[in-house]
Amino acid sequence: MAPWILGDKFNTVYPHKGSIKALWETKWKFACEKSIYPFHDGSIEDFRPIFQKLIDENINDACTDAYTQAFFPIAEALENQATAALSTNNTQMASDLLRRAAVVYRISRFPYVDPTKDDIKKLAFNRQKKVYLKAASFWTPKIEEVIIPHTHKSPTDGAYVPLFVRVPENASAENPVPVVLLMTGLDGYRPDNSQRTHEIIDRGWATVVCEIPGTADSPADPSDPEGPDRQWSTVLDYMATRPEFDMSRVAAWGLSAGGFYAIRAAHTHRERFAGIIAHGPGCHYFMDPEWLSKVDDHEYPFLLTPAWAKKYGYDDPEEFRKNGQKKFSLLETGILDQPSTRLLLLNGVDDGVTPIEDCLMLFNHGSPKEGRFFHGLPHMGYPHSLAPSYTWFEKVLASPQPVLKN
């Protein structure tokens, strides 16, 4: 391929790579202090001793049990403090402590929870879900877990689709509200979207949060390119049974790796969505062998390709590099040349995870698209990409949208 828009950064090894000390000091300490991705709702006081332990013990590989285990004592201590707070009926303190414990478990399970394994990452995820749901049970409105039958499953899919659902208190059959379906990412799952659900609820909309194929609790066969289509059909059919949901005003927001599925759904399920945001998405070039040869050197905190390969059903990252694009690319499979619902593309131009070329190519295929790209910013274009997301949803969900069918 011609030179990437990322420029010289394409061949650059970013300074945090390969060292937990460098990751903490050059990247994650700042994120933790400012409570930004991936430390939303976390506390620097919780993480400082954890990372000091990892540095002191020279634990640099997040895929090891030793990395994950280092987080458990702090998370457990926060849970114990929450129990003590509940014993004095201090529910606000208990909820805050449980939320912090959930963030600690969240970082412990980096970089990936494999849905096919019962390992320590899955244990951390299950603990996170438990404390997060308990924390959210004190919120108004609360978040609830709903586990629905996968009614469109194939023989290789799982039987159930777990969801998080949050609905405004005033929603009812007489007052149905718009709904935003959040499609999560490679490492960010259902318990990692508090701020988004707050923003959505504050606007009077409901939200449904679901993990993408090949991650966490998703039942979809990760090796089947049509697995996500079946999963979204099941989820949308369930949403249609909720009388408090206005199914003429349904939007979706695909986050990072979820952006790939957002783009696909905008085409395959175009008649069921008023609009979709693909935020930090890949669609074709992110699986290019040349791109994959360098992506582990860029802004992702740990090695990316082993987790990416596994989520697409490949045990061998090299096999994923050779064959993944032809099998899954939305260009190669003809998805991009179909009509789509309204589709907004958001990303940083300096994205070293999914190249900005993947957003730009969409303007030359299928229906007209919308886009907002942020020069000088990396993957996802944070923080500047958040405000346009909510502004766009406000317009899309203000009234039922015409559907483009041909």
With a CB cutoff of 8 Å and minimum separation 6, the contacts of 132 are 98, 99, 102, 143, 191
335: its two tokens: 């998805």
What is the C-alpha to C-alpha distance for residues 286 and 60, in angstroms, rounded to an integer?
26
What is the C-alpha to C-alpha distance for residues 280 and 294, in angstroms, rounded to an integer?
18
Cβ 354 vs Cβ 9: under 8 Å: no
397: its two tokens: 């969900």
Task: Determine whether 406 is exposed, middle or buried from the number of CB atoms within 10 Å of its CB (0-12, 13-18, 19+).
Answer: exposed
- Which residues, in sequence order, are bridge partners of residue 371? 345
Question: Which active-site residues does the annotation give?
Answer: 256, 351, 379
| HEC profile of the chain | CCCCCCHHHHHCCCCCCCCHHHHHHHHHHHHHHCCCCCCCCCCHHHHHHHHHHHHHCCCCCCCCHHHHHCCHHHHHHHHHHHHHHHHCCCHHHHHHHHHHHHHHHHHHCCCCCCCCCCCHHHHHHHHHHHHHHHHHCCCCCCCEEEEEECCCCCCCCCCEEEEEEECCCCCCCCCCEEEEEEECCCCCCHHHCHHHHHHHHHCCCEEEEECCCCCCCCCCCCCCCCHHHHHHHHHHHHHHCCCCEEEEEEEEEEECHHHHHHHHHHHHCHHHCCEEEEECCCCCHHHCHHHHCCHHHCCCCCCCHHHHHHHCCCCCHHHHHHHHHHHHCCCCCCHHHCCCCCEEEEEECCCCCCCCHHHHHHHHCCCCCEEEEECCCCHHHCCCCHHHHHHHHHHHCCCCCCCCCC
